[in-house]
Amino acid sequence: MEWMASIPVWTLCLTIFVLRICDVTLGTVRTVAIVKGHVSMAVVLGFFELMIWVLVISQVISRLDESWFLAFAYAGGFAAGNAVGIVLERKLAMGTSAIRFLSSKRGGSIADALRDQGHKVTTFSGQGSNGPVKLVYAVAPRRSVRRMIRIAQIHDPEVFWISEPAYEGSCGTSLRLPQVPHPTGWRAVIKKK
């Protein structure tokens, strides 16, 4: 990286800051991809994350004697990269969610509107503290949740809703990686003794 050795320190600080944002953002999204079971995506993101990290850390260590601002740029890029990674992950909205709507007035019309949008919906009748309610239950890709909430709120502005991650399902629905049939990691080492 001889060309980087000739970059002025202030330009290098900015470059390190930006590259560190990139590698931490990739790391944040990679971690979510691992949790959600997206193996291929995690492998590719991990490769580029580490390539950027090696490039950046080598420059910080080799030129730290020129300016301590390189360390501040490195740390600042890490902090900003966490925020950018979280925002990006929310935009990507990987995974599946279970959504429940409780409506005392318009549960049936909420269910019909969601079905019209192609969602599989189940309804239940129940009793709330102020009288009868309808529970509308659906499982959908996480990126659809906001749209589903807007649809429900159009039909009942007072609808109560809750969304949570869905990890497993029946009838051939695979929402995450299957369990590994044998111990892995440090557990594998202990089991072999």
State which of 39, 61, 92 marks the end of a domain: 92
pLDDT at 191: 61
126 and 67 within one domain: no
Asked if residues 27 and 49 have their Cβ atoms less than 8 Å apart, the reply is yes
- CATH number reported for the structural domain that contains residue 128 in this entry: 3.30.70.120
Q: How many domains does the chain have?
A: 2
83 and 141 within one domain: no
Residue 175 lies in a domain: no
pLDDT at 38: 81
Residue 61 lies in a domain: yes
Buried b (16+ CB within 10 A) or exposed e, 85-106: beeebeeeebbbbbbebbbbbb
Residue 180 lies in a domain: no
Q: What whole-number distance in Å separates Cα of residue 19 and Cα of residue 150?
A: 37
pLDDT at 177: 45
41 and 105 within one domain: no
Ordered per-residue pLDDT tens for the chain, 193 residues: 566 667 788 899 999 999 999 999 999 999 988 887 788 989 999 999 999 999 999 888 888 888 889 999 999 999 999 999 999 988 888 778 889 999 988 889 999 999 998 888 999 998 888 889 999 999 888 888 999 999 999 999 999 999 998 876 665 455 544 454 556 555 555 665 5
Residue 179 lies in a domain: no
pLDDT at 76: 95
Residue 64 lies in a domain: yes
129 and 51 within one domain: no
State which of 76, 92, 108 marks the end of a domain: 92
Structural domain boundaries, residue 24: 2-92
Q: What does each C-alpha distance from 39 to 30, 33, 46, 88 come to in angstroms?
A: 9, 7, 10, 18
- Output the pTM of the full model: 0.65
123 and 64 within one domain: no
Q: What whole-number distance in Å separates Cα of residue 86 and Cα of residue 165?
A: 16
